[in-house]
């Protein structure tokens, strides 16, 4: 993920986690909070995987897969929102394609999806 897309400072991550609205999915929990101070800025994404999911190797693998799914769908996310993805146990067995489809579905439910853009390829 590009650096500008990342939700990095711990305080910002916690602010979204505590004040954002959540949408659960089988593979992850999506938490969304509009950026009040920077509404025209690019959306920022944070990815988390708790220790219940396994060791460091497993958690890092899940986070890499989730980041790749975000990279595939990022052009369709409204600007001006902060998003956190918290991985759940079934995501360990999911493919990146399955995670991207689940992320698309959940972002649509959260109403932060712009369906007028094409994902994963050039427009014809």
For the stretch 64-109, pLDDT in tens is 999 999 999 999 998 889 999 999 999 999 999 999 999 999 999 9
pLDDT of residue 122: 42
Task: Please check whether residue 45 lies inside any domain of the structure.
Answer: yes
Torsion sign (Cα): 18, 20, 21, 27: negative
Whether residue 124 is predicted with pLDDT greater than 70 in this model: the reply is: no
Considering only 12-16, 29-33, 113-117, which range has the smallest mean pLDDT? 113-117
Task: Please check whether residue 118 lies inside any domain of the structure.
Answer: no
Question: What is the C-alpha to C-alpha distance for residues 102 and 35, in angstroms, rounded to an integer?
Answer: 23
Question: What is the C-alpha to C-alpha distance for residues 97 and 73, in angstroms, rounded to an integer?
Answer: 11
pTM metric for this prediction: 0.84
pLDDT of residue 121: 47
- Partnered with residue 12 across adjacent β-strands are none
Question: What is the C-alpha to C-alpha distance for residues 110 and 4, in angstroms, rounded to an integer?
Answer: 22
Q: Domain range holding 45?
A: 3-109
What's the structural domain count of the chain?
A: 1
Task: State whether residue 120 is helix, strand or coil.
Answer: coil
């Amino acid at each position: 993920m590009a650096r500008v897309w990342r939700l990095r400072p711990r305080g910002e991550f916690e602010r979204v986690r505590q004040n954002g609205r959540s949408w659960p999915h089988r593979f992850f929990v999506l938490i969304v909070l509009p950026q009040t101070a920077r509404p025209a800025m690019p959306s920022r994404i944070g990815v988390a995987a708790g220790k219940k999911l396994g060791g460091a190797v497993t958690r890092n693998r899940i986070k890499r897969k989730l980041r790749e799914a975000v990279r595939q769908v990022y052009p369709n996310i409204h600007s001006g929102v902060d998003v956190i993805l918290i991985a759940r146990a079934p995501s360990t067995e999911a493919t990146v394609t399955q995670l991207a489809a689940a992320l698309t579905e959940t972002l649509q439910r959260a109403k932060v999806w712009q369906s007028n853009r094409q994902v994963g390829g050039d427009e014809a």
